[in-house]
């Protein structure tokens, strides 16, 4: 498989006054094309910071991010990275941000309009994507009239409408009930099987079973990765119960809740 994202020896520090806080510590990981990669770990382990660096939103203190053969921070400025995200990445956030004056259909079409597509073309494409996610009946609603689960389906449609190489999901099930979360994960699994590369950050360990690769973070480091053949070892290692998220680092015997 080909690495679509190559995180190479990345560190990130923030300063509080004169105190240096090391959030990421020499992290190296590859996201393979066509994978469903789930980055997991306890709150504060650095996974969201890593995601922001991969997205080009947060410059690392050291190290490189090679994304689709582009060095995100060496070869481009902030405007270039913004254009790169617009053209190559679809985002699904924990809390969707809607343009409240627009309908569901218009919100989904909006990324295409930003890229300069004609309005009729954008709306037709949005309609097609909404239909594939079984949300056509809600196309003319305002997004905030929908349930949380329905809104995340529409957020996924919005991420897909530009046909990006990568879908990046930041805690997409965080505000969903168990059933809605399972439905969203099933949709993303289907997209992955159709060839879409997906990178997802979560602390909900029950969703690791959907991944093709799991990346475990602890205390600012990637401490282990698990492919499909390692899945049995991973599931044995983790306690997967709703509402209780416990795992043990292989390099640290402390339990993290």
Q: So what's the pLDDT on residue 234? A: 73
pLDDT class of 256 with cuts at 50, 70, 90: very low
Measured between alpha carbons, how far is 7 from 30 in angstroms, rounded to an integer?
Answer: 6
Residue 222 is encoded by which pair of tokens? 């990637």
Q: So what's the pLDDT on residue 230? A: 80
Residues of the chain with pLDDT > 90, as a percent, come to 69
Q: So what's the pLDDT on residue 245? A: 45
> How is the chain split into domains, by residue range?
34-58+77-252
Q: Which residue has the higher pLDDT, 126 or 176?
A: 126
Measured between alpha carbons, how far is 254 from 219 in angstroms, rounded to an integer?
Answer: 12
pTM for this model (two decimals): 0.86
Long-range contacts of the stretch 224-231 (C-beta < 8 A, 24+): 224/250, 225/29
The backbone torsions φ and ψ at residue 64, rounded to the nearest 5 degrees and listed phi first, read: -130, 150
- Specify whether the CB–CB gap between 77 and 56 falls below 8 A: no
Measured between alpha carbons, how far is 22 from 103 in angstroms, rounded to an integer?
Answer: 43
pLDDT in tens, 222-233: 998 998 778 667
Q: So what's the pLDDT on residue 191? A: 93
CATH superfamily membership of 34-58+77-252: P-loop containing nucleotide triphosphate hydrolases (3.40.50.300)
pLDDT class of 238 with cuts at 50, 70, 90: low
Q: So what's the pLDDT on residue 250? A: 46
Residue 150 is encoded by which pair of tokens? 């329905």
pLDDT class of 102 with cuts at 50, 70, 90: very high
- Specify whether the CB–CB gap between 225 and 29 falls below 8 A: yes
Residue 137's CB is within 10 A of a number of other CB atoms, namely 10
């Amino acid at each position: 498989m080909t690495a679509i994202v190559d995180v190479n020896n990345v560190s990130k520090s923030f300063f509080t006054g004169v105190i240096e806080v090391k959030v990421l510590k020499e992290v190296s990981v590859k996201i393979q094309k066509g994978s469903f990669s789930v980055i997991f770990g306890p709150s504060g382990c650095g996974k969201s910071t890593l995601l922001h660096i991969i997205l080009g939103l947060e410059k690392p203190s050291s190290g490189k991010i090679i994304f689709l053969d582009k060095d995100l921070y060496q070869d481009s400025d902030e405007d270039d990275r913004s254009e790169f995200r617009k053209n190559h990445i679809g985002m699904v956030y924990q809390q969707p941000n809607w343009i409240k004056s627009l309908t569901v259909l218009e919100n989904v079409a909006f990324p295409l309009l930003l890229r300069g597509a004609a309005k009729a073309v954008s709306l037709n494409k949005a309609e097609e994507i909404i239909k594939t996610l079984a949300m056509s009946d809600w196309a003319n609603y305002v997004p905030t009239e929908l349930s949380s689960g329905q809104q995340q389906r529409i957020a996924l449609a919005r991420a897909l409408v530009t046909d990006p190489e990568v879908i990046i999901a930041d805690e997409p099930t965080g505000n969903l009930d168990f059933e809605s979360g399972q439905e969203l994960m099933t949709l993303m699994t289907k997209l992955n099987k159709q060839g879409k590369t997906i990178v997802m950050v979560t602390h909900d360990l029950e969703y690791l079973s959907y991944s093709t690769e799991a990346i475990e973070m602890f205390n600012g480091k990637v401490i282990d990765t698990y492919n499909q053949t390692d899945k049995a070892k991973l599931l044995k290692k983790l306690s997967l119960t709703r509402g209780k998220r416990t795992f043990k680092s292989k390099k640290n015997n402390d339990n993290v809740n």
